[in-house]
Amino acid sequence: MSTPEELSIQMAHQSAIRSMQRIVEQQAQPHPNAEARAGVQAQLDRGNVLVMTGAGVSTDSGIPDYRGPNGSLQRHRPMTYQEFKYRPEARQRYWARGFVGWRHMFRAEPNAIHHRLVRWEEEGRISGIITQNVDGLHQQAGSKTVIPVHGDLSIVRCLDCGKSEDRQHFDDRLQELNVGYLEAVDVDPSAINPDGDVELPQYLVDRFVMGNCLYCGSLALKPDVVYFGESVPAERKEQIARLEESSDSLLVLGSSLAVMSGYKILLNFVKRGLPVSLVTNGHVRGEQKATWRWRVPLDQALSQLH
């Protein structure tokens, strides 16, 4: 019979599975293109807009999204926090796959959307960016006020002692432990998942040699990102709340807001009676609550804004 702790872990795992499998369907019609464009432009002209970005912002950099028609959820279920923490064989599988996939993400470069947001910040149009992406491309492009709500793939943290290590440094150590491994793998870059891993046959997973924590020797190392089934750190929630409070409107770019960490921000602005605009090529959770709904590819939308 399962213990109360085991039952709690299993319930959290199942809840995480339901969250990642949530399908966002149409809840409201988009506004006509010209009206939506004018509404978003007026919002930017007033300034102090908080921008929230999702996977759609990084697809032009070669990083796939999650829930789009060609998104990674069509072929791959991300690992839950409960699997990662309590199943060593799951961690082995993640790090073998991540060792291969992460370097493809590491080579990704900011695209025109990232650079446009840098310009808007310099012009005072936007107050900052809350991003659901873990690729670090906003920071790489030069945006100053960025809160990565789901963390950053470029950092590795020990689940036992809490100490962290730069991902590139950790990758260098893994390469020393796995000489010849990368040469044995043939990877299609389009198959890389947004969390930086890629499917591998089991014999390659078994062959992979994992590195340990530099501080305590543990093998329980995890990329410093928020997994499904894991809570956003309290300090980061406080940073988000402060940025929300100091902003006058919300602009969502390329996100379905399927997970609560993003949807809650929309709800907070709606509760305050402040404008909310959604610019995406798909449906958005809570879209019926938005002031403006502009359903158009992001690159097309931003080419019409100044």
For the segment 236-255, the average pLDDT, to the nearest whole number, is 97
Torsion angle of alpha carbons 192, 197, 202, 208, nearest 10°?
Answer: 130
Q: First and final CA of the chain: distance in angstroms?
A: 62
Predicted pLDDT at 2 = 60
Predicted pLDDT at 73 = 47
Q: Which two three-digit tokens encode residue 266?
A: 């929309």
Place of tokens 């659901």: 132
As a whole number of angstroms, the distance between CA 43 and CA 126 comes to: 10
Confirm if 103 and 171 have CB atoms less than 8 A apart: yes
Average pLDDT, the chain: 88
Confirm if 120 and 135 have CB atoms less than 8 A apart: no
The amino acid occupying position 274 is: L
As a whole number of angstroms, the distance between CA 79 and CA 91 comes to: 9
Which residues does 101 contact at the CB level (< 8 Å), separation at least 6?
A: 187, 192, 193, 196, 197, 198
Residue range 143-191, pLDDT digits in tens = 999 999 999 989 999 999 999 999 999 999 999 999 999 888 876 655 5
Asked if residue 17 has pLDDT above 80, the reply is no
Confirm if 279 and 57 have CB atoms less than 8 A apart: no
Confirm if 76 and 97 have CB atoms less than 8 A apart: no
Q: Please say if 150 is a catalytic residue.
A: yes
Predicted pLDDT at 184 = 84
Predicted pLDDT at 5 = 59
Place of tokens 């990662």: 84
Q: Which has the higher per-residue pLDDT, 184 or 267?
A: 267
Helix axes 88-106, 167-177, angle to 10 degrees: 110
Annotated catalytic residue within 150, 169, 283, 306: 150
Asked if residue 77 has pLDDT above 70, the reply is no
For the segment 13-28, the average pLDDT, to the nearest whole number, is 65
Predicted pLDDT at 192 = 61
**Percentage, residues of the chain above pLDDT 90:** 68
Confidence of residue 199 (pLDDT cuts 50, 70, 90): confident
Predicted pLDDT at 195 = 59
**DSSP conformation class of 228:** B
The number of residues in the chain equals 306
Closest CA to 290 of 256, 239, 246: 256
Long-range contacts of 173-180 (CB under 8 A, 24+ apart): 173/211, 174/95, 174/99, 174/209, 174/210, 174/211, 177/209, 177/210, 177/211, 178/99, 178/208, 178/209
Q: Which two three-digit tokens encode residue 14?
A: 């199942």
**DSSP conformation class of 58:** T
Q: Which two three-digit tokens encode residue 44?
A: 């930017």
The amino acid occupying position 42 is: A
Asked if residue 12 has pLDDT above 70, the reply is no
3-state secondary structure of 225: strand
Is the pTM higher than 0.85? The answer reads: yes
Confidence of residue 18 (pLDDT cuts 50, 70, 90): low
Confidence of residue 71 (pLDDT cuts 50, 70, 90): very low
Confidence of residue 229 (pLDDT cuts 50, 70, 90): confident
Residue range 96-120, pLDDT digits in tens = 988 988 877 778 899 999 999 999 9
For the segment 124-137, the average pLDDT, to the nearest whole number, is 96
* Lowest-confidence pick of 53-57, 59-63, 154-158: 59-63
